[in-house]
Amino acid sequence: MLAVSWDTIRLFLHVLAATIWVGGQLVLAALVPILRKGGVAVEAARRFNQVAWVAFAVLVATGIWNVAAVSNMSPSYRTTLIVKLVVVAISGVTAALHIRSRTPRRRAVFGALTGLSALAALFLGVLLAGLTSAAKRRRVGQHEAIDEGKPPCVMTSSRWSGQAARPWSRFPVMSAFRTWTSSGTGCWP
């Protein structure tokens, strides 16, 4: 079994809160017509808000924790992060405006904006997680191994000499693999 770390806990809490904030909005939106017929739409929305705003606060807190945990942000990562932060702010503001709306039209507009911005924030979060994972995969063989903290396989020239130090050079595919690992110290597949 893989080890549980603070990164695991942080990401678990962030994803759990996102499932409540985003998923709850989708479920509630689908149930509103039925809840209106039963006359319980307002009460259901009130109860959802009690859970959803706690989830939003957890999202903000773990989001700050996520940003603090990332080192050496690339310009594209930073730009995507800024866009996500703006979209999260829009999601929160439009949700608050949706709650305070007095007309059905304003509730519909702000509800739709809240849902769309929440989905966009979720998408951007997955994109950022993918960029972080890709960066970690590139470091395997250079500085760290992902699996269980074991040191990477390293073939150094001090252990080998001459052609034996580069057995892959005779095979273009292996030579390309060694180039792909970017450091020349990657593990054999």
Render pLDDT for 79-111 as a digit per residue (tens, 0 to 9).
999 999 999 999 999 999 999 999 999 999 999
Pick from 147, 151, 154, 148: nearest CA to 181: 154
Q: State how far the alpha carbon of 167 is from the alpha carbons of 133, 142, 155, 173, 180, in Å.
A: 30, 19, 11, 12, 16
Residue range 122-126: average pLDDT? 95
- On the question of pLDDT at 116 being above 70, the answer is yes
Averaged pLDDT score across all residues of the chain: 80
- CA-derived radius of gyration, the chain: 24
User: What is residue 70's predicted lDDT score, i.e. its pLDDT?
Assistant: 86
Q: Judge whether 66 and 132 are in contact, CB under 8 Å.
A: no
Residue range 139-167: average pLDDT? 46
3 state DSSP class of 74: coil
